[in-house]
Amino acid sequence: MSTERPSFNDAFRVSKRAQEKNPNGIYAARRDYYTLGEEWKEKTEKELSEKDRSIIEAARNTVGQVVRKWVPSEQLQDDVPVALSDRNAFIVHGGAMVERIEDSDYGDADLFLAAVHEQLHARSFTDAVVTNTYKKTQAGLDIIIESPKETRRYFQGLNEACTMDLETLGYGLLPDEHTFKQAIKDRAEEVIATIQEEDPLTRILETMPWIVTMKRREEDSETFRVLSHYYEDVFIRSRMTVHIAKTLPETYADANQVGEVIEKAYFTGDFHELKSAIREVYGPKGMLIASRWRTVEKFYPPEVIKKIKQFFSGKECGDVDQLLREVEVSVCSTCLEETGGSVCLHCGAKREMDRKKNKEETIECKFCGSFIGVSNGVCRECGS
């Protein structure tokens, strides 16, 4: 399995000003990039069993069918190296790491879906830029901007939701009698038997068993822990596409067309139509909520998740400014864990949320690159 990676100069674009003014920043970015490269090489050299290798190859072929609409055919043959690791991870500009959760038919099926998911990330639009003041990396819709003072992340929740939808498309390409599909259905039935009938999870497992990972508890083989694979984010994205289609019927015939706009941005990096639709339906603050919404199961308490769903459904969700502050994820000053909401999800401490408004500035927006200017902390061009 290939371990070749592009050089830093091939992978990153470095601005002329950065070359002149910030050589230390470029050095740090290059050092980090090659450190990741060495870690990746070590991971890809990890020996795979013949069975796991065949599963990952099947996932690669499935992804090729899914992305054919957006990725030029001449790029489909490019090798996307995949390796097993201790945890799921993704490195920009090639390479996906997946995890086998158990040695069983269900473990095989879960490994297939995990490989599809991570290879979709690797096939999505990727970009990396070093400027004089910040470093920006992008994978699909997920944008990370690192500066000396802070790190900002945009569209992570929508990015994972889009990846899950594309993963579902790949799952649907399997024949109904495929062993992976049967193993997933069998596990879902096992889990359903252990939970209350009125539990909402029952409906999810009955209708969409492939979008959650169900792992046996080590201490008790008869019970299960259901590990979220962004299924709440999938529901939020679905509500967003339905509401945009209903609000803009002259532009979009149905939610599927809106979904294609999201996929276009995911594979091409062209956000213009997506951002335009979000701004038109939800306004500048809606654009901020959409871009700062992180994977909900990891960062938000249930009441905030509910408000995010209501907001993107076009329903009353209370104070939008308050929701905007709650969607913003930061490190809790008490337990040092990343959290959103007004109360820390991890330790229960009240979270301090910044209510200050930035003064009007005519500076470059670090999200869209516009020099139109930032007013009260909101870019006039992209709404970020």
Q: Within a 13 Å sphere around the CA of 23, how many CA atoms are in the beta-carbon half?
A: 1
What pLDDT is stored for residue 150 in this prediction? 81
Q: What domain count does the chain have?
A: 3
Tell me the three state secondary structure of residue 285. helix
Nearest to 104 by CA among 215, 207, 222: 215
Whether 182 and 117 map to the same domain: the answer is no
Residue 149, token pair as written in the block: 């003072």
Domain ranges, residue 365: 356-384
Distance separating alpha carbons of residues 315 and 310, to the nearest angstrom: 5
* Residue 34 placed within a domain: yes
Whether 15 and 118 map to the same domain: the answer is yes
Per-residue pLDDT of the chain (384 residues; tens, 9 = 90+): 455 677 888 888 888 888 888 888 899 888 988 888 787 777 776 677 899 999 999 999 999 899 988 877 655 555 677 777 655 566 677 778 888 888 999 999 999 999 999 999 988 988 888 888 888 888 999 988 888 888 888 999 999 999 999 999 999 999 999 999 999 999 999 999 888 888 888 999 999 999 888 888 776 667 888 888 899 999 999 999 999 999 999 999 999 999 999 999 999 888 889 999 999 999 888 988 999 999 999 999 999 999 999 999 999 988 999 999 999 999 888 999 999 999 998 998 998 876 554 333 445 565 655 544 455 555 655 555
Whether 14 and 101 map to the same domain: the answer is yes
What pLDDT is stored for residue 295 in this prediction? 94
Whether 93 and 24 map to the same domain: the answer is yes
* Residue 262 placed within a domain: no
What pLDDT is stored for residue 106 in this prediction? 95
Whether 81 and 180 map to the same domain: the answer is no
Whether 119 and 183 map to the same domain: the answer is no
* Residue 44 placed within a domain: yes
Whether 104 and 186 map to the same domain: the answer is no
Distance separating alpha carbons of residues 364 and 373, to the nearest angstrom: 6
Last residue of a domain, one of 228, 244, 265: 228
Whether 113 and 213 map to the same domain: the answer is no
Whether 197 and 100 map to the same domain: the answer is no
* Residue 205 placed within a domain: yes
Note whether 95 and 81 are within 8 A (CB).
yes
* Residue 153 placed within a domain: no
* Residue 274 placed within a domain: no
* Residue 297 placed within a domain: no
Whether 107 and 200 map to the same domain: the answer is no
Tell me the three state secondary structure of residue 186. helix
Nearest to 167 by CA among 211, 107, 111: 211
Cα-based distances in Å from 352 to 153, 194, 299: 19, 40, 15
Whether 119 and 20 map to the same domain: the answer is yes
What pLDDT is stored for residue 230 in this prediction? 92
What pLDDT is stored for residue 79 in this prediction? 65
Last residue of a domain, one of 166, 195, 228: 228
Distance separating alpha carbons of residues 120 and 115, to the nearest angstrom: 8
What pLDDT is stored for residue 371 in this prediction? 46
* Residue 130 placed within a domain: no
